[in-house]
Amino acid sequence: MMNLIMWSFSEILFISGLFMFVSNRKHLLSMLLSLEYIVLSLFFMLFMFLNMMNYEMYFSMIFLTFSVCEGALGLSILVSMIRTYGNDYFQSFNMLQC
């Protein structure tokens, strides 16, 4: 019973993170925060699955490493965009220009 509650809670977290990602398209920072929220909910699901199957936790460490790299890459894009355009609005720049 407790596993069912935890799985449904993690699915609600994931779906709410997807909804935040889709609805917040004005600022890059809010989109990055919602992506990190989705990654944390996926990590929670992975952790529960590995505990339920009595597997080792090495893959969760690899997943956390890649999620930290993804966060650092997103922040570097945010900093370069703010330095170039002065803000983090998506409407202020055109991605098709080189």
* Domain residue limits, the chain: 2-85
Cα separation, 31 vs 60, whole angstroms: 24
Query: Quick one: pLDDT at residue 14?
Result: 93
Contact in structure between 41 and 10 (CB atoms under 8 Å):
yes
Query: Quick one: pLDDT at residue 42?
Result: 93
Mean pLDDT by runs of 10 across the 98 residues of the chain is 84 92 84 92 92 89 93 90 80 60
Query: Quick one: pLDDT at residue 93?
Result: 61
The CATH code of the domain at 2-85 is 1.10.287.3510
Cα separation, 41 vs 35, whole angstroms: 10
* CA proximity to 36, closest of 2, 7, 78, 8: 78
Query: Quick one: pLDDT at residue 2?
Result: 75
* CA proximity to 31, closest of 96, 86, 81, 84: 81
Q: What one-character DSSP code corresponds to residue 89?
A: B
